Amino acid sequence: MKTKVDPDLCTGCELCCDTAPDVFQMKGDVAIAIEGPVPADMEDMVREAAESCPAEAIVIE
């Protein structure tokens, strides 16, 4: 699984950073995701972050 954050949709609420801090972090006013594949033990947290994102800015591939 890979994930990314659409910077045009991100509102910078930091909910994803709170839910999966090892995958998402803030860069300025928007969140970014780690590069490369998401570790298998963090996939559920990433799905939860995507489902909880109020701006629907998280893309899972």
d(CA 44, CA 30): 22
Residue 54, pLDDT score: 97
Residue 41 C-beta-side C-alpha neighbours within 13 Å: 1
Q: Taking the complete model, does pTM exceed 0.75, yes or no?
A: yes
* CATH classification code of 3-60: 3.30.70.20
Mean pLDDT of all residues belonging to the chain: 97
Residue 12, pLDDT score: 97
Residue 45, pLDDT score: 97
Residue 57 CA to its chain's centroid (Å): 8
pLDDT digit string, tens, across residues 39-61: 999 999 999 999 999 999 999 99
